[in-house]
């Protein structure tokens, strides 16, 4: 069976999240998006944990089911802030539990290290090495994944507080972490160049349940049956990973180098000419993912290992519609009207973005030929993006390369999108 999963979401008890997040809303918009599996989010938070245990029922394979039959698995994210190698470090890690019993043991362990009630993504002053060692001692079935692995401040490979390798970070625990999560500012093609011993997954880190957040990044599983064991086996071995859905790295908030306050950004080659200094304020630039990839890469751009999985670069449909209408308000009535009309017609957002034929889209949107063109450019990896930097999201910039036949990113496997959902 083929399942598209988003296994990094947050509850309304995490900082900077929508207060409308509930199990019901997560399920509602996951279905509209085309997702078939979600993480529970923040399972260690006392209030959210009560809601999870009240609203979900666990089967004997570790899958939690809503009252209307939507599946979840136990998931949370923790922030580890510590010193190692003479440098301050900050790393975000995803934690998955095989069942309620183990989830409760994780909660007890985390509770012994700090408070759990102040934030859905709690902070602990322990190293990644120690956290991995202790959690794996609870159960080898616990799965640990480095979240948004390239972001400057909280990624395992981040330019500000990260490491140059898994071995440097984990030491003798390096073989107990099997995957990294690409995050918005990186994609598998960038990470393959490191030649590090990991599989690549992708999840949204959603702070709301809206379709332009949830599932904006996701992982496609091809497994015999939906069980926790099968999901984890796919993550650890790659057998059962059918690919990932990614936002174009340029769309992320840390792709290029720059200074938000100075409204300045530039690609790595320009940063080198500037000696890493902002030409407007004279301070050091915030080094982005693109630059950091070149620092760590052992292979040239375009390198593709034999085990590589396809990935699909997509800007969410709401954002295409909003750009088409000339608004920045993704939740406007008009944006929702068009979104609902075409998702109702084709099934889910992923069906629209990946499966719908151009002729059918034109028939469904007779007065919106430009929007159809945006959808097709998006599908083909040819949607021009002005790269994000220093916490500023990238943006569609159709004027810059309008009509170009050259994709802004190769996609490393964008071919064969039609029908990938098995429809």
Whether the Cβ atoms of residue 41 and residue 30 lie closer than 8 Å to each other: no
Whether the Cβ atoms of residue 156 and residue 169 lie closer than 8 Å to each other: yes
* For the chain, domain boundaries: 2-251, 317-382
Q: What is the dihedral of CA 10, 14, 16, 17, to 10 degrees?
A: 40
Segment 97-123 mean pLDDT: 97
Dihedral pair phi/psi, residue 285, rounded to 5°? -70, 150
Q: What is the pLDDT of residue 190?
A: 97
Average pLDDT, the chain: 93
In the predicted structure, residue 59 carries a pLDDT above the cut 70: yes
What does the pLDDT look like over 233-283, one tens digit per residue? 999 999 999 999 999 999 999 999 999 999 999 999 999 999 999 999 999
Q: What is the pLDDT of residue 185?
A: 87
Segment 413-422 mean pLDDT: 38
Confidence of residue 402 (pLDDT cuts 50, 70, 90): very low
In the predicted structure, residue 414 carries a pLDDT above the cut 80: no
Closest CA to 388 of 201, 252, 277, 228: 252
Three-state DSSP class for residue 225 = coil
Superfamily for 2-251?
A: Metal-dependent hydrolases (3.20.20.140)
In the predicted structure, residue 420 carries a pLDDT above the cut 80: no
In the chain, the N- to C-terminal Cα span, in Å, equals: 12
User: Which residues make Cβ contacts (< 8 Å) with residue 223, sequence separation at least 6?
Assistant: 1, 3, 230, 231, 233, 234, 240
Segment 221-226 mean pLDDT: 98
Q: What is the DSSP letter of 243?
A: E
**CB atoms closer than 10 angstroms to residue 40:** 25
Q: What is the pLDDT of residue 407?
A: 36
Confidence of residue 398 (pLDDT cuts 50, 70, 90): confident
Percent of the chain with pLDDT over 70: 94
What does the pLDDT look like over 340-374, one tens digit per residue? 999 999 999 999 999 999 999 999 999 899 999 99
**CB atoms closer than 10 angstroms to residue 340:** 11
Cα torsion 178, 184, 187, 192: sign: negative
Q: What is the pLDDT of residue 278?
A: 97
In the predicted structure, residue 46 carries a pLDDT above the cut 60: yes
Confidence of residue 12 (pLDDT cuts 50, 70, 90): very high
Alpha carbons 412 and 421: distance in angstroms, whole number: 18
User: Which residues make Cβ contacts (< 8 Å) with residue 295, sequence separation at least 6?
Assistant: 159
What does the pLDDT look like over 282-300, one tens digit per residue? 999 999 999 999 999 999 9
Segment 202-210 mean pLDDT: 97
Alpha carbons 324 and 379: distance in angstroms, whole number: 16
What does the pLDDT look like over 150-192, one tens digit per residue? 999 999 999 999 999 999 999 999 999 999 999 998 999 999 9
Closest CA to 281 of 269, 267, 264, 266: 264
Q: pTM of the full predicted structure?
A: 0.93
Q: What is the DSSP letter of 121?
A: S
CA 22 to chain centroid: 20
In the predicted structure, residue 111 carries a pLDDT above the cut 90: yes
In the predicted structure, residue 399 carries a pLDDT above the cut 90: no
Whether the Cβ atoms of residue 209 and residue 70 lie closer than 8 Å to each other: no
What are 89's strand-pairing partners?
82
């Amino acid at each position: 069976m083929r399942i598209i999963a988003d296994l990094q979401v947050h509850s309304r008890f995490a900082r900077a999240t929508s207060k409308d997040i509930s199990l019901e809303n997560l399920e509602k918009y996951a279905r509209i998006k085309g997702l078939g599996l979600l993480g529970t989010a923040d399972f260690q938070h006392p209030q959210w944990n009560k809601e999870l245990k009240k609203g979900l029922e666990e089967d004997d394979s570790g899958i939690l089911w809503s009252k209307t039959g939507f599946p979840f698995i136990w998931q949370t994210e923790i922030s580890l802030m510590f010193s190692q190698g003479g440098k301050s470090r900050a790393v975000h890690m995803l934690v998955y539990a095989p069942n309620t019993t183990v989830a409760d043991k994780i909660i007890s362990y985390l509770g012994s290290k700090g408070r759990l009630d102040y934030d859905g993504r709690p902070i602990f002053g322990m190293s990644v090495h120690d956290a991995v060692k202790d959690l794996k001692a609870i159960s080898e079935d616990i799965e640990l994944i480095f979240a948004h692995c390239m972001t400057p401040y909280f990624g395992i490979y981040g330019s500000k507080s990260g490491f140059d390798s898994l071995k440097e970070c984990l030491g003798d625990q390096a073989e107990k972490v099997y995957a990294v999560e690409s995050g918005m500012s990186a994609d598998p093609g960038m990470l393959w160049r490191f030649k590090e011993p990991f599989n690549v997954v992708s999840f949204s880190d959603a702070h709301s349940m809206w379709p332009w957040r949830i599932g904006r990044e996701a992982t496609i599983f091809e497994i015999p049956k939906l069980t926790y064991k099968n999901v984890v086996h796919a993550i650890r071995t790659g057998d059962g990973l059918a690919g990932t859905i990614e936002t174009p790295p340029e769309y992320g908030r840390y792709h290029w180098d720059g200074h938000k306050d100075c409204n300045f950004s530039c690609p790595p080659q320009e940063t080198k000419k500037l000696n890493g200094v902002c030409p407007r304020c004279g301070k050091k630039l915030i080094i982005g993912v693109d630059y950091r990839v070149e620092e760590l890469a052992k292979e040239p751009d375009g390198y593709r290992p034999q085990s590589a999985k396809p990935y699909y670069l997509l800007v969410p449909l709401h954002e295409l519609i909003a750009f088409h209408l000339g608004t920045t308000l993704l939740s406007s009535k008009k944006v929702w009207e068009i979104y609902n009309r075409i998702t109702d017609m084709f099934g889910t957002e992923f069906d629209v973005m990946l499966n719908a034929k151009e002729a059918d889209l034109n028939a469904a949107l007779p007065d919106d030929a430009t929007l159809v063109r945006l959808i097709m450019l998006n599908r083909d990896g040819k949607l021009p993006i002005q790269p994000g930097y220093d916490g500023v999201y990238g943006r569609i910039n159709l004027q810059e390369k309008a009509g170009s036949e050259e994709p802004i990113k190769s996609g490393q496997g964008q071919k064969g999108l039609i029908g990938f959902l098995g429809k």
